[in-house]
Amino acid sequence: MFEHFEDPKELFEYRLGSALTMERDSLEMLHELESAAQSDEIKHLFAHHAQETEHQIANLEKCFSTLGVDSNDSPSPTTKGLAKEGTALIRKTDPALLDGVVLSAALGTEHYEISAYETLVTSAEAMGASEVVALLKENLQQEQHTSEELNAAAKKVAATV
């Protein structure tokens, strides 16, 4: 799509597409993490986050629509790498330790997503795209809340191992 960015709007659209890919990758990863989790509580946490991720995907698609541009699927190599690392650790881990591994994998992804949304919000604010800012802030707040939930669950799991 873009070979060379010549203005902030092009860069923003590329990053927005990368965020869309990021969320789609995360949704796929969440299903894998949910399957690998041993605790029903953690499985439920991942199922709930998958529902939120579907909503975040819809918000990103609305951002494209609001901007009057076609949505794109710019690459998100970081999320692909995080998913690959998580899958490798799941395969190598004894079932008794899996809940800690899947929570760690999810937290790594959340931190990346938070960073991506913070950057997108800043750019959208600079562009004066208030409707897009609101959608992106909604996603950011959900990611921050999920990070807190995952961190609390990870601490609980760590205390029992």
In terms of Cα–Cα distance, which of 121, 96, 108 is closest to 150?
108
6-38, pLDDT tens digit by residue?
999 999 999 999 999 999 999 999 999 999 999
Residue 1 belongs to some domain of the structure: no
Helix (H, G, I), strand (E, B) or coil at 75: coil
Residue 39 belongs to some domain of the structure: yes
Q: How far apart are CA 109 and CA 86, in angstroms?
A: 10
Residue 100 belongs to some domain of the structure: yes
CA 146 to chain centre: 10
**Which residues constitute the domain of residue 60?**
8-69+77-160
Q: How many CB atoms lie within 10 A of CB 133?
A: 19
Domain count for the chain? 1
Residue 44 belongs to some domain of the structure: yes
Tokens, residue 42: 């953690």
Whether this prediction's pTM lies above 0.75 is answered by yes
Q: How far apart are CA 118 and CA 107, in angstroms?
A: 16
Task: Give the pLDDT score at 73.
Answer: 86
CATH number of the domain within which 110 lies = 1.20.1260.10
Residue 3 belongs to some domain of the structure: no
28-70, pLDDT tens digit by residue?
999 999 999 999 999 999 999 999 999 999 999 999 999 999 9
Task: Give the pLDDT score at 2.
Answer: 57
Residue 139 belongs to some domain of the structure: yes
Task: Give the pLDDT score at 119.
Answer: 97
% pLDDT > 90, the chain: 94
Residue 2 belongs to some domain of the structure: no
Q: How far apart are CA 82 and CA 105, in angstroms?
A: 7
Whether 105 contacts 85, CB under 8 Å? yes
Residue 132 belongs to some domain of the structure: yes
Mean pLDDT of 115-124: 98
Tokens, residue 70: 């076609």
137-151, pLDDT tens digit by residue?
999 999 999 999 999
Strands (E), 16-134: none
Tokens, residue 8: 């902030």
Q: What is the mean pLDDT of the chain?
A: 95
Residue 1 has pLDDT above 80, yes or no: no
